[in-house]
Structure 1
Amino acid sequence: MEMERSASTERFQPLTSVGSGVGLEVTPDLYCYTVQIVNVVFYGLAGKGNDWVLIDAGMAKSASMIIEEAEKRFGKGNPPKAIILTHAHFDHIGALVDLLEVWDVPVYAHSLELPYITGQKNYPKPDTTVEGGMVAKMSFMFPNESIDIGNKAYPLPDDHTIPFMPDWKWIHTPGHSEGHISMFRNEDHAMIVGDAFVTVKQDELYKVFTQEMEINGPPRYFTPNWDTSERSVNILKALNPNIAITGHGVPAKGQWLSDNLEKLSAEFKSIAVPEYGKFVDDQLN
């Protein structure tokens, strides 16, 4: 089946950060790589021929960056065993079709997220009226259209295991999207949280560019349900993570993560929830 693209995979976004093109080994088997303003994660021990998994698929037109970095870490001609999606917003599936044309691998997502990668459903349009900085105002440029990868899309197992990632479990963390997931490993309390929370103020252009580190809720312009988003943050905080790789911003560890996630949970409404915006207004009505 020929895959169907959309603006989510075809429209280049003229946004970047000082971290773009930079990779960070967070643990021996977790490597965070920044593509413009969003992170993808390589799971697997570095070394030619080693098995590995890609988590999320970056921005449109970034496939060559991701493939090149993967080849540096795992060797040429060594595709991932699978691609796992935390969710399917444009900045997490932008390179997906291009990657699948090179790597013939399965893509796993929550069952509620599958309609957005099988051409059945579009996300709500971003909220340009939301309280926030310049990125929020620019969000009219961000596509909300689904793509269709056909029979390459698979639901994550109901038992919360993650294919090709032993010792990891997926956790349903909706709010930013209805099928959003985070990932947790009990051994070292490592988390991959997508956009359930982030470590940069994602609506402010200067902070996005500089990657100034601060705890925040999910990106305001694309979060339709703040009540469930708050519950998701509380679920993640209760797991006492020691490492968190977020979809935006630099990875967080140790005491900084513990203190700031506690603060976000306790003060979610004042830190994360905008004072106004169409999604906020919809929930109040």
Structure 2
Amino acid sequence: MNWFPLPLGPLQTNCYILSNEDGNGLIIDPGEEPDKVIQYISKKKLKPKAILLTHAHFDHIGAVDSIREKYSIPVYVHKKEKDWLVDPALNGSQFFLHGQVIRAKEADYLISSEENMVLDGFSFKVFETPGHSPGSISFYFEQDGIVVSGDALFQASIGRTDLPGGSHDLLLRSIHDKLLVLPEETIVLPGHGPATTIGQEMDSNPFLNGF
């Protein structure tokens, strides 16, 4: 499996495009600038199959409808953030974008628990990693040694927890119980910033030292 990051929008939210040997693609967190996503998909001649959301804050969902309608593909989000796509107050755009609001249509599928998923040749595990937001989830592609962590875990940092539904203690517990137990060589693809590894964050992340 191949993966490619596209930092999008003013917050440079990482949209990840995953592709397999059959040319199928998964799009994770298309936050803004749909033309950039479409251009990459066209350049690589990929066949998008689904949009996966690590959570539904505005900077992760801004291009959802454009991409969904372009390729007629379903959107997956955790059930705890079912209403966030359609509600600017919940997804934060009402408060952070100075008058501009972001709304998307409801998700096509709601993820209700941790589970193993198979979508068009992609096999992965869904981990519930709340703390940054109530419905934050991470996608673990075990065979490829990759976990997409959304805004839970970053290189040398962790997600903010001062937004509605956030919890610092819960986020640390999520990271400890769901992510740090993965093999140390596992590549972490975060919602913002560069990729890292589980081992690197165990050794040097100042927010996790002593936890």
TM-score normalized by structure 1? 0.62
1:156-171 superposed matches below 5 A: 156=111, 158=113, 160-164=115-119, 166-171=122-127
Which residue of the other structure, out of 159, 165, 169, is the alignment partner of 1:218? 159
In structure 2, list runs of 5 or more residues that go unmatched.
none
Superposition deviation, residue 91 in structure 1: 0.8
RMSD of Structure 2 on Structure 1 (CA) = 2.9
Matched to 2:137, the amino acid is I
Name which one, 1 or 2, has greater alpha-carbon Rg: 1
- Percent identity between the aligned chains? 26
Residue of structure 2 in register with 1:264 after alignment: 207
From 55, 65, 83, the counterpart of 2:28: 55
Instruction: Report the equivalent of 1:183.
Output: 139
Alignment of 1:94-173 (within 5 A): 94-117=62-85, 119=86, 122-123=89-90, 140-141=96-97, 147-150=103-106, 152-156=107-111, 158=113, 160-164=115-119, 166-173=122-129
Q: Which residue of 1 aligns with 2:173?
A: 231
1:79 deviates by 4.2
Identify the residue that residue 69 of structure 1 maps to in structure 2. 40
Map 1:80-95; keep pairs closer than 5 Å. 80-95=48-63
How many residues matched?
204
Q: Deviations over 1:225-283 (max 9, x none)?
A: 1121111111211223420000000111375344235x532356xxxxxxxxxxxxxxx
Alpha-carbon distance in 1 for matches of 2:83, 2:194 = 30
Tell me the CA shift for residue 157 of structure 1: 6.3
Q: Deviations over 1:13-41 (max 9, x none)?
A: xxxxxxxxxxxxxxx52222222411011
| Cα distance change of structure 1 residues 163 and 231 upon mapping to structure 2, 3 Å threshold | same
- Name the TM-score, length of structure 2 as normaliser: 0.82
2:20 is aligned with 1:45:
yes
Q: Distance in 1 between matches of 2:199 and 2:123?
A: 24
| One-letter amino acid of the counterpart of residue 63, structure 1 | P
Q: Please say if 1:197 is aligned against 2:165.
A: no
Cα pair distance change 1:38/1:143, threshold 3 Å: farther
